A and B are shown apart, each in its own frame.
Chain A
Amino acid sequence: MGKAELPLHAPGTELDRGYIGQSVPRPNAQRLLQGRGQFIDDLRFPRLAHVAFFRSPYAHALIKHLDFKAALRAPGVIAVLDGRAVAEYCTPWVAVLAHLKGIKSPPQHAIAIERACWQGEAVAAVVAESRSQAEDAVALIEAEWQELPVVVDMDEALAGKNVIHPELGDNICFKREHDTGGVHDAFRLADVVVEETFHFGRHTGVCLEGRAILADYNAGEHSLTVYHATQAPHMMQDIFSRHLNIPEANVRVITKDVGGSFGIKVHVYPDEMATAALSVMLRRPVKFVADRLESFLSDIHAREHKAKVRLACSREGDILAFDLDDITAIGPYSVYPRTSGIEGNQVVNLTGGPYKHQKYRAKMHVVFTNKNVTCQYRAVGHPIAVAITEGIVDIAARKLGMDPAEFRRRNLIGDDAYPYTFPSGIKFEKLSHHKTLDLLLQTMKYGELRAEQKELRKQGVYRGIGLASMIEVTNPSPAFYGVGGARISAQDGATLRLEPTGMLTVMCSVTEQGQGTEAIFAQIAASAVGVSLDKVKVITGDTAVTPYGGGTWASRGAGIGGEAVLLAGRALRSNMLDIAAAMLKTDKAELDIAANAVVHKLTTEKKLELAELGRVAYFRPDTLPLDFQSELTVTRHYTPRQYGFTFTNGIQASLLEVDPDSGFVKLLKHWCVEDSGTVINPMLVDEQLRGGVVQGIGAALFEECIYGPDGQLLNGSMADYLVPMAGEMPDIVCAHVATPTLQSQLGAKGVGEAGTAGAPGAIMNAINDALAPLDARVTRMPFTPERILKALRKV
């Protein structure tokens, strides 16, 4: 159990780890196993009304006329409203940030006014006593449209023949250029130059629980309580307050259980803002749950890129320079408040990430189209950057006749090279590329797999081994959003309270969507204070209860929220020992807390049960010294200060088989070696990695939002949009290296997105490794049988 640490340890020193590092099953999973969780759609309220939206069937059209007469007469209907009516209760927003120089986007309303800009954009709302009745009434709305030119293709968007928002002048939301200088010469003088263009299909999160919000306005208090499946309740509190004109402290956002989020649920959605506005307008609770069809049309999409990348290296195999030209197609609006420029910005920051070259040039355009809006989705930009980097690296290795692992070993930044500033400007505290490479090759028995591959090729069996090295952004500071003016908190807080019976309540501003936030906070708190895990209760996701903080995004929960819990726990322990010393009339320095009791520090003899300490502190302070005040509730906040982003590193490998007759890919196995610093619960971390890997496999093999030339989404259902299911997934072996960050006492970096960042690149490299003897290569994700057969020139 824990030890008293007075004074607090300096960073990087040994600490008695308690529960930290143990694979403890999650306490809050029990209710989920019995179907006794509480998701937003499970909540029941008196006078609860339901909203359904009339959504544009056209990708780009003027709304000439909306006729609500028939809809208003339908049974159970309470109200039918257009954009202008809702705008009286909810102000519009513009999703730009000051640090993305030149980013532009027009104002967006909760419900579109005058013009619909993507198929599925809400143009009217029906509020009724049931969702069925609301949908019945939506079907009775009559609309007159005037279709406008539709921009779908990213190159056409860039060329700007049809400009979606004429007042902006062109279709460029954001562009960025980066140049270290010396790139032209590096390529000119290099022995070997390789080049490839990679395409990435736009895809989406498909959380099993649809987006869900239940807004409850109390007219008597001018207060709004929003039960919201969101990752960032404080951010939403601020946004509801500002856009609905309700004082901040009168807005309460509560998250409950969330059925998966992955970034999808951290953004501001117009239909959700409309739902909140409708509750204010109608003075009753209003609920909206996005059904599956409207999820495909309106949940943020992501990752539609065309990236041309060039690599220059010497004939010995030293990478000299990277050159990137990336274009990404977003929707007709940048998404609020994080903007749709971040994903492309990350691709520029991260391309080439693991390697020691010094020269780098990048050009990147983010263009508007009349397809669904896009924004940050798990691993934001990393899957693209890793795939193009690792893809071009493999091409270079093949051209030189070098083994891909050896080529990487030659070029990975050395484990002793830190701190290090990368050519894109990002700074690394300390990474372990070589250690992770060694561990991967050893774990997967790389040599044996290569030998087996060679043998099987003789029998006409085409196996592929693909590697993907990666760096990953975690634990961000305000450098991500705050510096641009966004009211998005990069700090978090934890309040710990010892209850009279000796139990510990932890309230933290980071949120839970199943990754195990509450479990690890319980482990950290128990370790920091000295109680057993079963004594800890964790509360997250309520702006009225927890300290103010950022919530869940960018893999920050453990590193930032966890540190706040640790700091608060240590401070609480110190306060508890003050009380114990007063009660026992001994020196505080002789005491410690372990296993729910105050003990003698050296002999570990039990001196005082915590339940007794609690009883006295709360109910009998008259027995304590006159000048003594007990303080058994402690709050601490934390934000990383030395590094704008705490980078982690990892490497993945895929082993698969391609059937050259059918073009089908069979995944045999996958490996993921990750260095995320201090690991609090290895089982939960491995689960995060595996879930992330499978999401990345989805992007590589199955998932794409397919749009027709008129901006119609062609595969917006679970039957047509293919998500990874159990039958096709491999077992995934996880292994770890631990390089703690010295910025915090806990030393935890983030890990939630790592699996997704590296898997697509590893899969692509494995497929191309399998196809290499057949003189075929694929570069357009997802790698469908059609695309593989085309590469093989069979169709």
Chain B
Amino acid sequence: MKAPAFAYAKAKSLAEAFALLERPGARILAGGQSLIPSLNMRLASPELLVDIAGLKDLRGIDLRPGVLRIGALATHAEIERSDQVSKYAPLLAQAVPHIAHPAIRNRGTLGGSLALADPAAEYPACALALNATIVLVHRRGERRVPASKFFKGLFDTDIRPGEIVAGAEFPSVERSVFLELTRRHGDYAIVGLAGVADASGRRIAYLGVGATPVFAENASRAVSLNAALEVLGRDLQPAADLYHSSATKLHLAKVLLSRAWNTLSKPH
């Protein structure tokens, strides 16, 4: 399947990117690992692709007070290799090997994944569990959105016209666990769990269970595994997919919760 025709421009600066994005039918091209397949399958027909890969401001993984700031253009491979991520955002380090395969991870980016907000993607659930802050830039400055407010619907985020994801800031936590169920290595998750815990309690988020990543509020507050399993059905009403009924998805979510519980409950 060959992509439909479109124009292409590579932005040399953020200012240029903002200007290009004002053109009709303009879309951002970063890693392209989700956008290009959709173009090849003629599921999308943008008029103009604005390549932001040259914007150095959007790169980098830096430790800042209390948070690890990862630039939007950081590739999954860079995140996978990063000592900083292992140390200060281990949830991401656990999640990233599940993302597709090495050739995809060499090109796909954090910003692209957050902006696309695929409900089966790993980073959005991690961001939600960590209550990360997504940093957006626009002509006149910066806007910071907590993950809990960022993912609004199916492939729908709080990004406003004229904004570009610049990066995300991930707070440190004591304990984290990422688990995913796939039938084959590297597949989109059937369900996945991103969980963190520290003195203030647990935060458990799921992927693959709804139109967005879902924060399991009741289960996070439960005091025991049995209690959490009982109330999980209130947090998740997963839609069926091609292979799994709603009941199966909820069942598998409970299986993951059972597997994650010990790590989230170690005494400190």
Interface residues of A (CB under 8 A from B): 131-132, 135-136, 139, 291-293, 661-664, 701-702, 706, 714-715, 717, 719-720, 722, 724-725, 727-728, 784-786, 789, 794-795
Main secondary structure of the interface of A (DSSP, over half): loop
Cα distance, A292 to B40, chains bound together (Å): 11
CB under 8 Å from chain A, chain B span 1-21: 1-5
Residues of A within 8 A of B255 (CB): 661-662
* Beta-carbon contact of A784 and B251 below 8 Å: no
The residue on B at minimum CB distance from A717 is B41
Question: Beyond the given A135-B1, A662-B252, A784-B183, could you list 5 further A-B residue pairs with CB under 8 A, ordered by the A residue number?
Answer: A131-B2, A139-B42, A725-B186, A728-B184, A795-B245
Q: Given contacts A728-B184, A728-B185, A784-B243, are A789 and B42 in contact (CB under 8 A)?
A: no
Cα distance, A786 to B247, chains bound together (Å): 9
The residue on A at minimum CB distance from B252 is A662
* Beta-carbon contact of A293 and B1 below 8 Å: yes
Residues of A within 8 A of B3 (CB): 132
Interface residues of B (CB under 8 A from A): 1-5, 41-42, 181, 183-188, 190, 242-245, 247-248, 251-252, 255, 258
Closest CB in chain A relative to B254 CB, distance in Å:
9
Residues of A within 8 A of B242 (CB): 706, 714-715, 720
Cα distance, A785 to B255, chains bound together (Å): 13
The residue on B at minimum CB distance from A130 is B2
Q: Given contacts A135-B1, A720-B242, are A664 and B181 in contact (CB under 8 A)?
A: yes
Cα distance, A728 to B186, chains bound together (Å): 11
Q: Given contacts A662-B181, A786-B245, A794-B251, are A291 and B5 in contact (CB under 8 A)?
A: no
* Beta-carbon contact of B4 and A292 below 8 Å: no
The residue on B at minimum CB distance from A706 is B242
Residues of B within 8 A of A292 (CB): 1
Q: Would you list 6 pairs from A and B whose C-beta atoms are within 8 A, ordered by A residue?
A: A132-B3, A135-B1, A663-B248, A784-B183, A785-B190, A786-B243
Residues of A within 8 A of B1 (CB): 135, 291-293
Closest CB in chain B relative to A276 CB, distance in Å:
23
Number of A-B contacts (CB under 8 A): 65
> What 8 A-B pairs are tightest by C-beta distance, nearest first?
A727-B185, A132-B2, A795-B247, A795-B248, A786-B248, A661-B255, A291-B1, A786-B244
Closest CB in chain B relative to A79 CB, distance in Å:
19
Residues of B within 8 A of A717 (CB): 41
Selected from B188, B244, B247, B251, the residue in CB contact (under 8 A) with A719 is: B188
* Beta-carbon contact of B248 and A725 below 8 Å: no
* Beta-carbon contact of A293 and B248 below 8 Å: no
* Beta-carbon contact of A139 and B4 below 8 Å: yes
* Beta-carbon contact of A293 and B41 below 8 Å: yes
Closest CB in chain B relative to A468 CB, distance in Å:
23
The residue on B at minimum CB distance from A724 is B184
Cα distance, A727 to B3, chains bound together (Å): 31
Cα distance, A291 to B245, chains bound together (Å): 31
Closest CB in chain B relative to A423 CB, distance in Å:
39
Residues of B within 8 A of A724 (CB): 184
Closest CB in chain B relative to A551 CB, distance in Å:
30
Selected from A662, A715, A727, A785, the residue in CB contact (under 8 A) with B186 is: A727
Cα distance, A722 to B190, chains bound together (Å): 13
Cα distance, A701 to B183, chains bound together (Å): 9
The residue on B at minimum CB distance from A725 is B184
* Beta-carbon contact of A789 and B41 below 8 Å: no
Closest CB in chain B relative to A718 CB, distance in Å:
10
Cα distance, A587 to B255, chains bound together (Å): 83
* Beta-carbon contact of B2 and A785 below 8 Å: no
